[in-house]
Structure 1
């Protein structure tokens, strides 16, 4: 016997008001954004709480609202439902199967300069009705965003990925050594890490990249002499370009020149070094929106894994202006 589905006891309008309150942090702020009275917003949230039988937020006078654990759990689901409702409305308006709605994309900050441009341009070309925004952050912040439903998908490294995260592989790459021009090992195609162990090292101090670097060093049986710690990829490259040390990086910009125009030398690592997978990830806790599913179909097609004569994996990217490489 077929089961008859029951209509929910809450409304999409109540979900919209709740999400707006959560995003603005205050009842008043939500009311201003929705162009309705604060009392109407407060009443809708209270009715939603009553319908669900849980407290979603704590109201503190002069301090706005704070979501409870139940509120945090509902927020991502509510956003996904509102996205789906918007897509249903677009179909009803005659758009047919065109994908619309919003997509919030996160990207690990050192991957962003080389991965985001081809991803965003290709996806915009294939799905022009989707409104895409992005944020750059570290690995933990990206996974927090996925868990809270603030991000639909995120591009990150396959390092310390949390349980409850779904993913697909975009491409693979390998760490490389970065040397200043004129370094004594400049003529060597593949450098042994122990040959650099006594020299000053410039660390990209951004988890999980930093932990991965030290894991490689432990496998090679060396302890790097850390002279500087930098939070940004280009800062590391600039310090190496100035001759202040050597470094080991995963991402390689197209140009081997620093912002100052100084040359840096990229050399392969002779020691056994594992490949690093770059993933597109999303939370299993929140059903992906139609836009997120479309992005997951597009993203792998942007990157094509190839190999060079030195066995370094690169991600080839086809763009409007010809072929570029995310290395």
Structure 2
């Protein structure tokens, strides 16, 4: 059955959802406010549901039905852009917009090359990124705010398709002068009495605590932060240890203090870095290109992690004096 509504009407609805008001949506779409209002009223009539709750003096908000339609509308509009691109210029450069969700700790490792090198390869693709915790990314995928998400496969829940781009094994991060730092490996039991610096954004906290409790170790959490660089810096100062998956290119904190990455010898599971998208969606050409680029970035990161970076020896010299000596 051919739909009796238009892509333009779907675009107006998405514009209102993004802008938060009819007036702002009209400015974004370069049409009159009346055109937006009439277009959405007609869309509601044709769909047989109320999409917007209109409160005089208080603007508009999406109804429950409207939120569902907006999520679907985003996918329809993205697919329509892809169809137009294929039809007009088969095999030509990719065009259109794509929103990518990214798990926070992965952002420093994957996004710089995506913003630079991918933009050079595909200059007509308008890329936007939403960073967040696991639950934020799942929500963004399901409501259509993001077409793809780069994250871990842990706790994603149903309704999402995934492609693995990298497999990681947990390791322990310690200050370079920690008594366990020079070992070839440590067990979770070795960490039983050690203070834990916890990265607080999911799924990391539950993963770390689950690993420890599985072997009868009760974690002694002394600090918690949603900023991974704060966690690494606290560890570098000798205030505790943390478990991590991603390997930073240099084993130093932001303060320049050395860190040690020690393998876990315990029986711990591997974790997968995946690109996820709604199961019912077919990847657009733009999305497929982003997945391929992230896969190649993951291979490069794997090669970098296999190399042993040079780390400066610990020093008590104040940072301002170190900086003064730096060319």
Both structures adopt the same fold (TM-score exceeding 0.5): yes
**Aligned counterpart for 1:208 among listed residues 203, 208, 211:** 203
Partner of 2:124 in structure 1?
129
**Aligned counterpart for 2:255 among listed residues 253, 260, 272:** 260
**Does the alignment pair 1:30 with 2:25?**
yes
Counterparts of 1:221 and 1:141, CA distance in 2: 31
Counterparts of 2:223 and 2:94, CA distance in 1: 47
**Does the alignment pair 1:218 with 2:213?**
yes
Q: CA deviation at 1:289?
A: 3.3
For structure 2, the residue ranges without an aligned partner over 5 or more in a row are: 310-327
**Does the alignment pair 1:270 with 2:265?**
yes
**Does the alignment pair 1:169 with 2:164?**
yes
**Aligned counterpart for 2:151 among listed residues 152, 156, 161:** 156
Q: CA deviation at 1:285?
A: 4.2
**Does the alignment pair 1:54 with 2:49?**
yes
After superposition, residues 36-47 of structure 1 pair within 5 angstroms as: 36-47=31-42
Counterparts of 1:183 and 1:84, CA distance in 2: 54
SS at match of 2:302: strand
Q: CA deviation at 1:181?
A: 2.3
Q: Which moved more, 1:54-63 or 1:14-23?
A: 54-63
Partner of 2:111 in structure 1?
116
**Aligned counterpart for 1:315 among listed residues 278, 289, 302:** 302
Decide whether aligned partners of structure 1 residues 295 and 57 sit closer, same or farther in structure 2, where only a CA change above 3 A counts.
same
TM-score, structure 1 as length reference: 0.86
Q: CA deviation at 1:9?
A: 1.0
Are the aligned partners of 2:150 and 2:276 in contact in 1 as well (CA < 8 Å)? yes
Are the aligned partners of 1:193 and 1:269 in contact in 2 as well (CA < 8 Å)? yes
Partner of 1:14 in structure 2?
9
SS at match of 2:34: helix
Q: Deviations over 1:66-114 (max 9, x none)?
A: 2122222221222222233334444565575432110101100011111
Q: May I ask how many residue pairs the two structures share in their alignment?
A: 307
Are the aligned partners of 2:82 and 2:284 in contact in 1 as well (CA < 8 Å)? no
Are the aligned partners of 2:99 and 2:127 in contact in 1 as well (CA < 8 Å)? yes
Partner of 1:242 in structure 2?
237
CA RMSD of aligned residues (A): 2.3
SS at match of 2:303: strand
Are the aligned partners of 1:304 and 1:315 in contact in 2 as well (CA < 8 Å)? yes
Q: CA deviation at 1:231?
A: 1.1
Q: Deviations over 1:293-325 (max 9, x none)?
A: 3323443343339xxxxxxxx7237xxxxx999
SS at match of 2:267: coil
Partner of 2:285 in structure 1?
290
Partner of 1:311 in structure 2?
none
Partner of 1:64 in structure 2?
59
Q: Deviations over 1:261-307 (max 9, x none)?
A: 111111111211111101100112444433223323443343339xx
Counterparts of 2:113 and 2:58, CA distance in 1: 42
Are the aligned partners of 1:122 and 1:302 in contact in 2 as well (CA < 8 Å)? no
Counterparts of 1:126 and 1:31, CA distance in 2: 33
Counterparts of 1:211 and 1:188, CA distance in 2: 26
Structure with the largest fraction of strand: 1
SS at match of 1:17: helix
Decide whether aligned partners of structure 1 residues 324 and 257 sit closer, same or farther in structure 2, where only a CA change above 3 A counts.
closer
Structure with the largest fraction of helix: 2
TM-score, structure 2 as length reference: 0.86
SS at match of 2:105: coil
Q: CA deviation at 1:165?
A: 0.6
Are the aligned partners of 1:77 and 1:286 in contact in 2 as well (CA < 8 Å)? no
Are the aligned partners of 1:105 and 1:151 in contact in 2 as well (CA < 8 Å)? yes
